[in-house]
Structure 1
Amino acid sequence: MNKRLEKLRQQMSQRGISHILITKPENRLYLSGFTGTTGVLLIGLETADFLTDFRYVEQVKQQSPHFNVVKIEQGSAFGAVAEVLRQYKSEKLFFEEEHLTVKQYRELKEHLRDIGLEPGSGLVEELRLIKDDEEISIIRRAMEIGDKAFAHILNYIKPGVSEKDLALELEFFMRRQGAAGTAFDTIIASGPRSALPHGVAGDRQLQPGDLLTMDFGALYRGYNSDMTRTVVLGEPDEKQQEIYNIVLEAQLAGLAAVREGVTARAVDEAARQIITDRGYGEYFGHGTGHGVGLAIHERPRLAAKDDTVLKAGMVVTVEPGIYLPGWGGVRIEDSILVTEEGCEILTSSPKHELLKL
């Protein structure tokens, strides 16, 4: 954690920032190691304060030894922040503009009448782009849990089973494997519903001949896994096989394009071109992938407007899809670690053939 604080301070120094207020939970966890739910960080070029209420004082002392603990006695955290800043004689505070609500901003401004406020974003997120060895180790385990869950759920997929039942079984299994919960609301979309890219599990019961798209992940030690597989109940018809093969080809093209030095946009183009050339471009409406870590969706985005240059240590997904309204859809997703020469695929569940159940 000390190294992360030092890297943040280097950014602060370069931008002329004396103090920064961290309110975003993922950034708080990244910088402090604190796994609780309440508290804000006030970080200066030579100071680091963790402001929280009585419920978490001892936990902060244990998990965040590099921080000075400030107990919030009464009132809001922002009032306590103002008091600490005045002790430091600070004249300006940088805060995370993408996280505060309008109400919270007004409250912060009220408490800091004599201290300037500088809105901004991206300082901590920039650090989080490249995962360190400890993060990669945790993410590997989260991905392993997801792979085991996929192998487990195959035994439960049959006509008459509801999407919700499958989602519940996935969650129970991942929790039994050590996950704290699901990374996001599990997507289980069957039959015509598989045309919904974010078709969260519903009451529909699986039918013979259905395509079934499952997009799920495990939350493990604060980090997320993410994978998607599409299977079919019974023998696939010609169109189902065609669409699956196109998506698989696009996904493999996207994976092949990943390496240090290429742009996120170039990876998106590689996958998208396959689908467009086959005549289904209008049915692939989302980006090819996204970063994954403490948040299930984080930078970079593998999309047409993201020129981020990929670097070794980034963890991203590659997940093209085709979604035909009224018919169904296919998506295949792996999470990968960017390397100097290419990528390491962190999800190992089978995909090279349309799995028939």
Structure 2
Amino acid sequence: MKQRLTKLREALANLGADALITEKAENRFYLSGFTGSTGWVIVTGTEAFLVTDFRYVEQAQEQAPDYTIVNNERKALEAIAKLLADKGVKRLAFESSVSFGTHQDWNRAFENVELIATSGLVEKIRMFKDEAEMVIIHEAVRIAEAAFEHIQGYIRPGVRETDVALELEYFMRKQGASGSAFDMIVASGVRGALPHGRASEKIIEAGEMVTLDFGAAYKGYNSDITRTLAVGEPNAKMKEIYDIVLRAQLAGVQALKPGVTAKAADAATRDIITAAGYGDAYGHSAGHGLGIEVHELPGLSTVSTFVLEPGMLVTMEPGIYVSGLGGVRIEDDVLITADGHENLNKSTKELLILPV
């Protein structure tokens, strides 16, 4: 935590701000380790405070040992205002994602304090994963990989998509996950053409492809894996699409290394899919950052301005989606390293054809 606070203080100094206030759950957890649902982290040039209420004081003291814990006694605005005044904070950085109402309340309550809107201040620090984070993320990936192996013996004709989703989550929880990282995608047959086709009541049928996009939530971090498999022999067109997506995904992973622009990494997949005649059927970005949030910085897209650096963790997930036919997506979680990349996923990406 101390290293994270040091980086934040450097960013605040560059802004000319005396302190940062954040109540965003993900940033609060990243900076302090606190997992309660209510609290405000305030970091000055020399001190760090966590303002919360009676319900969480003991928890905060245990989870955030580097912080001074302030019991707001059910008067949060007053407690924060007093803290800012006592510490001489005149220029307070805040996240522009806060509500308009919150901003108005702060303007009224924080006397003689200039509020400085920021965007991505903490998120840009979060892009770079440290060793402790990667230990947790590796386990989140392992759980998801084990779930994918398990579900291959469960999927068969006659099973509902929702039952597949429930089985995946149950298995991941038994493996130690706190739950699913997000509302998982189970899209079979023509529903595979929906890039975000959440699990439905549809019955899986023989000859269909099934796209599984899911991840494990584990100790505050997430994994995110996508595999598309066939239940019995698929048609020739879907096999062709699978082969194109696989080539694009492998090329995309290979492109991930320090110094490569996020835009170029996206292009490594997009060029292959476009050359095969499916450019219009690939309408999303090639990938995104992954960690405390499932979607975080940096994005891999046609408009991204990021340059890849060691410590960044991204997904690589090209896909093709054809209305009335189906779709294919393949996704891995990839860490950028000093000499290239480490693909955290080991599950096969060759087309699996399950027996019927």
TM-score, normalization by structure 1: 0.97
Whole-angstrom distance in 2 between the partners of 1:70 and 1:131: 29
Alignment of 1:159-174 (within 5 A): 159-174=157-172
CA deviation profile, 1:92-138 (whole Å, cap 9, x unmatched)? 2110112x122222222221243211111222111111100011111
User: Is it true that 1:144 corresponds to 2:142 in the alignment?
Assistant: yes
Map of 1:34 onto structure 2: 34
Map of 1:86 onto structure 2: 85
Whole-angstrom distance in 1 between the partners of 2:3 and 2:159: 49
Whole-angstrom distance in 2 between the partners of 1:316 and 1:78: 38
SS in 2 for 1:156: coil
Query: What's the % identity of the aligned pairs?
Result: 49
Mean Cα displacement is larger for which, 324-333 or 335-344? 335-344
Is the contact made by 2:289 and 2:297 (CA closer than 8 Å) also made in structure 1? yes
SS in 1 for 2:152: helix
Alignment of 1:198-237 (within 5 A): 198-237=196-235
Map of 1:259 onto structure 2: 257
Map of 1:69 onto structure 2: 69
Gapped runs of 5+ residues in structure 1?
Answer: none
How many equivalent residue pairs? Answer: 355
Alignment of 1:1-357 (within 5 A): 1-75=1-75, 77-98=76-97, 100-357=98-355
Is the contact made by 2:245 and 2:330 (CA closer than 8 Å) also made in structure 1? yes
CA deviation profile, 1:13-56 (whole Å, cap 9, x unmatched)? 12211011011111111110112211110110011110000011
CA deviation profile, 1:55-78 (whole Å, cap 9, x unmatched)? 110111111111111101133x33
TM-score, normalization by structure 2: 0.98
Deviation at 1:235, TM superposition (A): 0.8
Aligned CA RMSD, in angstroms, stands at 1.1
Whole-angstrom distance in 1 between the partners of 2:77 and 2:167: 42
Whole-angstrom distance in 2 between the partners of 1:139 and 1:356: 29
Deviation at 1:342, TM superposition (A): 2.1
CA deviation profile, 1:195-231 (whole Å, cap 9, x unmatched)? 1001110110101111100000000000000000001
Mean Cα displacement is larger for which, 49-58 or 13-22? 13-22
Gapped runs of 5+ residues in structure 2?
Answer: none
Is the contact made by 1:244 and 1:354 (CA closer than 8 Å) also made in structure 2? no
SS in 2 for 1:253: helix
Deviation at 1:323, TM superposition (A): 0.3
Is the contact made by 2:230 and 2:351 (CA closer than 8 Å) also made in structure 1? no
Deviation at 1:336, TM superposition (A): 0.8
Whole-angstrom distance in 1 between the partners of 2:56 and 2:180: 24
SS in 2 for 1:51: strand
SS in 2 for 1:28: helix
